[in-house]
Amino acid sequence: MSIYLDHNASSPLHPEVLDEMLPFLKSSHGNASSLHQSGRFLRSAIETARSRVAELVNASPEDVIFTSGGTEANNFALKGFVEMSPESSLMSSQIEHASVLHPLEQVKLAGCVTNHLPVTTDGIIDIEASLLLIQQHSPDLLSVQMANNETGVIQPVEHLARFAHGNGICLVHTDATQAIGKIAVDMQQLDVDMMTLSGHKFQGPQAVGALITRASTVKTPLLSGGFQESARRAGTENVAMLVGFGKAAQLAAIKLQERQSYLIELRRYFEQQLAEIPGVAIFGANSERLPNTSFFAIPFYHGETLLMQLDKAGFELASGSACHSEVTLPSHVLSAMGIDEDLALNAVRVSFGMENTRQQVDKLIATLNELINQLPAVMR
């Protein structure tokens, strides 16, 4: 059986989440919009899930809009805002997920102004340069990820949001997809107006997420034709998935400290051995990172080639964002960091989960060394 080391792409469904979902998959019928007993029961289950998600990030339940995942939530935040404010100015970083960068390209074609904040060689948004850009361009909406999906580097969202709000400049959205369940995320402390979450990134089901937004921030829905989600997102709710999402949120809050402590130590153990490989580069190592993420490159070993060799040996990793796994161009994140293209093409990401062990790390390191030793001597 393969050793799964790609939790930033998707994490395994927690057994307690599955247990909570099963009754709704097996025997719960009806529509949560119906007024009869079955409908009221389903509505109650949805509202319990909503409260659990809100509690996880210190938000109000009425501000939680359930979606099909992080991609829809990001599109909703950006396009919904533009629908309310045509020809507005939007700003994000150079290292956002494609579900932020691509919508920004689309709204730019529609007449909006878009700008991007630079990042340092350590993978963190350049604060000094960014504050200056925010002052110069006065964006209407700033969208900055909480943590990068490739490097794991945690971004200064609170600093940027408080500066923007303190100067009365703009609304702030953060894509917290990768951060939830790995670090503490408090919407009030971050001082953001909108936040994106995705269930399968923290051991919930796939195809469910949320945009948490203050009622006045985004009013125009992406999907129309019904009055679900307070008329902000039409369509019959998938109750089983929402129940699982809520349970995963509850577990993420309860188990946060345990997960953080375990994953920090496991990553440290891995990178101590990884650093012994001659010439290895660990991206973002000088910045605060998600506890489970290590993005690295081995000289002379193309990332996708290494990925396939490791897959044959029973290890499942990523060569970057899973959404870009078929693209041969270097990671846009590493390019923004100024990493040499040849080295960037060698990048491989390990993202640990709670089921991973030191014994598995030892096996991975041993396999990496075996593969490196198979290279021609001139390349080692």
Annotated catalytic residues are 323
Provide the 8-state DSSP code for 188: H
Q: What sign does the CA torsion over 336, 341, 343, 348 have?
A: positive
DSSP string, 201-251: GGTS-SS-EEEEE-TTT--S-SS-SS-HHHHTS-S---HHHHHHHHHHHHH
CB 161 within 8 A of CB 191: yes
CB 360 within 8 A of CB 267: no
Tokens of 47: 């509202």
Beta strands 3-4 and 315-316 are parallel
SS3 128: helix
CA distances from 210 to 62, 76, 97, 275 (A): 12, 10, 16, 38
Backbone phi, psi, residue 273, to 5°: -80, -40
Alpha helices in the chain (DSSP H): 15-26, 37-56, 70-84, 98-109, 127-137, 157-166, 187-190, 228-231, 239-254, 256-274, 303-312, 332-336, 341-344, 358-373
CB 76 within 8 A of CB 85: no
Short-list 250, 241, 185, CA closest to 212: 185
- Give the contacts of 13 (CB within 8 A, at least 6 positions apart): 200, 203, 204, 205, 244
Tokens of 326: 């078929």
